[in-house]
Amino acid sequence: MKTEAEIANHPKARLHRELVERLRASGSAKGAEQCWIRFQLNPRLWKRIVTYGLSAPEKQSLLNKVAFPDFNTAEVDAALKAGNNLHKLHELASGRASIAKDPAGHYKIGAKGFKIIQHSIAPRAPSRAQKTIPDRGAAEFRS
C-alpha cells in the first residue's frame, strides 16, 4: 500500500493541484473556461494535460467544478492535497459525498487519498408500469 506522501506526490495528483490553482487564479467559473484556451497555447502544459486524459471537455468541466465547488470547499481542498481522484473530488464539490472522519474528527486515510463517503440518494417512486395490482401480485401496466 502506498503512503500518504506517495499518493499526494503522484504526477497526476500534482497536475490536478496545479490546474485547480490556475483555474482559481482566473477568478470565476467563466474565467476558468477561458483558461483552457490559454492552456492549449502552452505546449508543455497541454502535453501533460493530454497525457493524463484531462483534455476531454467532460474532464475539464469536472476540474472547473473542483476549482469552484458548490459545497464542501474545505473538504475539497483537503482531498485535493491528499491526492484523491478527480471523480471523488467532483462528488465532494457537488455535495454528493463527504470525507469520512474518525471519532477524534480527523480525516480517514484510504488507498487513494482520503476515504470518501457517498451520500445516499432518496429512492424514486415506482413508475406506473411497476405498480402491482391488488390480488394479482404481478407487476402489470394499469390503463
Domain ranges of the chain: 4-120
pLDDT digit string, tens, across residues 19-34 = 999 999 999 989 998 9
Which residues of the chain, if any, have pLDDT below 50?
none
Residue matched to cell numbers 474545505: 74
- The pLDDT assigned to 124 comes to 59
Look up the pTM and report it: 0.77
Return d(Cα 93, Cα 58) in angstroms, integer.
15
Q: Which residue from 97, 87, 93, 96 is spatially nearest to 71, judged by alpha carbons? A: 93
